[in-house]
Amino acid sequence: MRKTPLILMAAALPMAVNAANTEFSFGGFIKMDAMLSSYSDGNVTDGLGREFYVPSTIQPGTEPDTTELDMTARTSRFNFKTVTDVGNDKSVTTFIELDFEGAGGNEVASNSYGPRLRHAFIKYDGLLVGQTWSNFMNVGALPESADFIGPSESTVFIRQSQVRYTMGDLAIALENPQTTGAGDSGDNGMIPDITASYKIKAGNADLVAAALVRQLTYDGALEDDDTTTIGYGVNLSGKVMIGKDDLKFSATAGSGVGRYVGLGAVADVSLVGDDLEASETTAAFVAYRHHWNSEWRSSLIYGMLSADYDDDATFTSAPVTDASSVRVNVMRSPVAKLTYGAEFSTATVEREGGDEASMNRIYFTTKYAF
C-alpha cells in the first residue's frame, strides 16, 4: 500500500489554510487493567465503580461479602493536536482526546464500548476555549496509581467546558455551572463558576493555589420554589522533589464544592424547608513515590474526605459523610513508555447515620504510551 506523506494529507484538510505552517501530532496510550475486588456489603453495580475507585458506589447494605474480578482496556485513549504558526511569534493550538468510557458495551461477547470526549479546546495568545481540566484542578499533583485516579475521594477531578485566560502564572476561568443535590437532582445555573489559580515555584516545590466561587441553584416544581445560594472553595496542591523521589499532595476546603471533589461523592447542596444550604467539604491526600532504580518505583498514597450537612437536611438516600483510602503500588518500566504495575488498596466509606462499607482491591496494569 502506498503511503501518503502527512504533509499532503494535511493539505487536503479543509481547515488547513497553510499546511506548511501547521505541526500535526497524535498520542495516547493502550492500557489493560485487571481488578480483583472484595466488597464488605455486596458488590458494586457494573459500571465505573467496578473499574476504579468511586466512593459513592460503595454502598452499605445487607448483602454478604463478595469478591469480583474485572478486566478491561476501556481507559485506553487517543489524542490529536495541531499547532499553527500565525506569525508575530504566536500560534493557534487545537487538541482533542477520546477514551472508551462511553455508554454501551457488554462483557458477553464483544466487550465493545462507546468513545467518550475528554478534551476538545482551542488556545491562542493566552486564551483557552473548550473542554478540558478545570482551572481549580492541578493535574501535576496527581499521584502515580494503577487506579484510574487513585485517591479519588480526596482529589479535585473534573473536566468541563470553559473560557480561560492565562497571564504568566495566573489563570482565571469561567466554567460550566452545575449544582448537585437538592432532591438528588442536578440543576444548571445562569452564572458560570469562577475559578482562579496561581503557580508558585519555591525551591524544589512546584505549588498551585486555586480558588472557586459559584452560584448554587435549585429549580423547584413551582416558580416560587426556585432558590439560590453561594458556594466557594480553596485548594493548595503541589509536588516536592526529594532527590529522585517526590512527594505530591492536595488539600481542599469549601462550601458547596462537592461536585469538584471526590467524583461528586458529596452533594453540593441540600434543601432545608424552602432554603438551599451548601454542604461543607474537606479533603486531602498525600503521596510519596520512591525510585528503587532506573526501572522500579513504588508509591504510598493516603486520601481522606469529610462532609458536613445541615442538621435539618433531608435526602432520598443517605449521603457520604466520610471516606478514606490507602494504597501502595510497585511499577516497572523496562523500556521507555512501557509500564507494568501492581497495586493494593483499601477504602472505607461512611454515610449519614453511621453505616459503613469497605472495599479491598488488587490491581494489575499494563500500559504503553505513544
pLDDT at 232: 98
pLDDT at 187: 64
pLDDT at 183: 55
Taking the C-alpha atoms of residue 84 and residue 197, their distance in angstroms, rounded to an integer, is: 27
61: pLDDT strictly greater than 80: no
Question: Which of 327, 323, 326, 318 has the alpha carbon at shortest distance from 348?
Answer: 323
Question: Which of 46, 32, 167, 188 has the alpha carbon at shortest distance from 104?
Answer: 46
Confidence of residue 64 (pLDDT cuts 50, 70, 90): confident
Mean pLDDT of 333-348: 97
Q: Position of cell 455551572?
A: 177
Tell me what percent of the residues of the chain surpass a pLDDT of 70. Answer: 89
The one-letter amino acid code at 171 reads A
Taking the C-alpha atoms of residue 289 and residue 207, their distance in angstroms, rounded to an integer, is: 17
Mean pLDDT of 295-304: 98
- What φ, ψ does residue 355 adopt, rounded to 5°? -70, 140
Higher pLDDT, 151 or 103: 151
Kindly state the greatest CA–CA separation across the chain.
Answer: 71
Of 3-7, 53-57, 146-150, the range with the lowest mean pLDDT is: 3-7
pLDDT at 361: 97
Q: What is the pLDDT of residues 183-236, one digit of tens each?
A: 545 666 789 999 999 999 999 999 999 999 999 988 764 455 568 899 999 999
Exposure string (b/e) for 92-128, b if CB count within 10 Å is 16 or more?
Answer: eebbbbbbbbeeeeeeeeeeebeeeebbebebeeeeb
Q: Position of cell 498551585?
A: 208
CB 10 within 8 A of CB 23: no
Tell me what percent of the residues of the chain surpass a pLDDT of 90. Answer: 70
Q: In 3-state terms, what secondary structure has residue 140?
A: helix
Confidence of residue 1 (pLDDT cuts 50, 70, 90): very low
Exposure string (b/e) for 255-282, b if CB count within 10 Å is 16 or more?
Answer: bbbbbbbbbbbbbbbbbeeeebbbbbbb
323: pLDDT strictly greater than 90: yes
Domain ranges in the chain are: 22-369
Mean pLDDT computed over every residue of the chain: 89
Q: Which CATH superfamily is domain 22-369 in?
A: Porin (2.40.160.10)
- What φ, ψ does residue 104 adopt, rounded to 5°? 90, -175
